[in-house]
Structure 1
């Protein structure tokens, strides 16, 4: 069953987050495949996440790099926010590693160089991701990566440090987990 939203046809669910669903979509006038992040406004308000979502959208709107997920547009309805983004067909780097096993040096180097290029671009724009992990790195059909999920991202200025510790505990430094700071 597919749903229509303006000029998009929305289909199957690609993933589920803590307060959103990402669905496959097609921009009907062009046939371009897209990913549609669907966020329920009432649920966002209950969880006090509205500001965070709008910040993520604002940050994504600033970014345009081959190794960073692309935001096409945001559509608001009375009940939902639809974030229309680039669709990358090969899924998460995490799943790729689980399926294919340990990366050989050539593949690992290529992924690392692409990731560093994307991170360097973000930092040059004053954006820090703060939740880099294999689950937030997506692969396209040519196995080029895209940094995705800027939900914990923030902006920074030289010499000013962010004070909030965030990210996934499975990937956090031991001193963060033990609250040494």
Structure 2
């Protein structure tokens, strides 16, 4: 009876094997998760960015437009709300908003009830662009997660959510 050919270790597996030789007393098993997640995040970015680029956007630009679109009509938020929703600094939000306003995708407006406060609103053109891009983005993400079968996708999503909640606690 012939045995199945053994699969070669991946990049992270090779690194772990090298550490096992050089520092056998150190448990490197966390690299099996963290290292692979890090490499996967880089690869996923490489797969996701072309969809945004085809729309003339960076991933950060799309993130801002998507935050405004998800807010519902009238599709507006304060810069602070955008920063919290996108998890970037207010300085990064300002730069993104400058680009998006220059492209005619958002408007900055002074709040009527507070002359100091600003609101950012999607323009009709911005809403159309984010809606079109979102559909292509979701199709691309379906393609990527489709490399796993449905039970594995559900279990991975469950595990990642549990880990994220534990880190946030």
What is the TM-score of this pair, normalised by structure 1?
Answer: 0.26
Structure whose residues are more often strand by fraction? 1
Task: Give the structure with higher Rg (CA).
Answer: 2
What is the TM-score of this pair, normalised by structure 2?
Answer: 0.27
